[in-house]
């Protein structure tokens, strides 16, 4: 786990009316709050949002020493 032991993920979701892919999910995340927001992205597919959430949770659980 990162040095601070605390991660943050913020997901803001809205619908773009008239778009072929109306979902918008803007994700801001870090696995070390002491570092601030490390990544930011906007996604348009539910599966992609779920994948990012899962990968981030796995990162937060990962021991920095490889354990």
Residue 2 lies in a domain: no
Residue 49 lies in a domain: yes
- pLDDT tier at 67 (50, 70, 90 boundaries)? very low
Residue (of 9, 38, 16, 13) closest to 26 by Cα position:
13
Q: What 3-state DSSP class applies to 37?
A: coil
Q: Model's pTM, two decimal places?
A: 0.78
pLDDT for 64 equals: 58
The 10s digit of each residue's pLDDT in 31-61 is 878 778 889 999 999 999 999 999 999 888 8
Counting the structural domains of the chain, the total is 1
Own/partner long-range contacts of 4-7 (Cβ < 8 Å, ≥24 apart):
4/32, 4/33, 4/34, 4/35, 6/32, 6/33, 7/31, 7/32, 7/33, 7/56, 7/59, 7/60
Residue 24 lies in a domain: yes
pLDDT for 63 equals: 56
Residue 66 lies in a domain: no
Residue 43 lies in a domain: yes
Residue 14 lies in a domain: yes
């Amino acid at each position: 786990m990162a040095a601070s032991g605390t991660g943050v993920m913020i997901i803001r979701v809205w619908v773009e009316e008239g778009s072929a892919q109306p979902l918008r999910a803007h994700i801001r995340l870090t696995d070390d709050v002491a570092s601030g927001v490390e990544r930011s992205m906007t996604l348009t597919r539910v599966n992609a949002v779920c994948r990012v959430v899962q990968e981030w949770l796995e990162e937060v659980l990962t021991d920095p020493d490889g354990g």
